[in-house]
Chains A and B, each alone.
Chain A
């Protein structure tokens, strides 16, 4: 197991274009989280999944953002009609979930950096 993998690592796009990021979590992890981070700030919660079910989506997230985890394994985060304010690092993390000790310990991927011109 190589940990949490995110692709692409970098994406430069023009305003108005759509972008999609992929996250492959640790295989035995049931929970998958998406966060957004800008310079000097902590990771900001976007959404999370328990297997294929999306449990919560941040109220700060506009309708241009959508995430899926169709088979409970990898996840995609799509941003439609990108804006310059969407420029950020998009971090994916996974955890075991459930009631076991350490269930909420997150393992992060290296992130996908988005630059919107």
Chain B
């Protein structure tokens, strides 16, 4: 089983719709979880951290399910500018462990 797995997509979604991605991770002892966004030919940038209690930032909601070892990202009222690749990121078993990226999920918002 890969350390971090994501559906590569692409997800083609009409503007204004709601879209959700899941990501599974293999190491049950992982401590830190993030979603990064990567635009074409650009470096990844932090979108949001994922907390055990779940967290929301505007149109974006992230949740963590430790029992099933997955994290999710929900985007409401999607905008054309949301088109990007969304990377699921997990650290290892200890707080100081390496940080692993999933392969990313491509999202295309259609006008």
Contacts and interface: CB of A to CB of B under 8 A. Distances in A.
Interface of A: 33, 35, 40-45, 48, 50, 55-56, 91, 95, 97, 99, 102-111
A42 B104 contact: yes
B11 interface: no
A112 B8 CA distance: 24
| Chain B contact patch, size range | 20 to 34
7 contacts: A43-B101, A99-B95, A104-B91, A106-B89, A108-B43, A110-B42, A111-B43
A105 B32 CA distance: 9
B99 A103 contact: no
Contacts of A99: 95
B101 A45 contact: yes
Counting from the closest, the 5 A-B pairs by CB-CB distance are: A108-B43, A42-B101, A42-B103, A104-B32, A43-B101
Contact of B43 (A45, A55, A109): A109
A108 B98 contact: no
A56 B100 CA distance: 12
Contacts of A111: 43
Contacts of A40: 8, 103
B32 A43 contact: no
A92 B103 CA distance: 17
Interface string B80-111: 00000001010100011011111110000000
Contacts of A102: 49
Interface in B27-86: 32, 34, 36, 42-46, 49
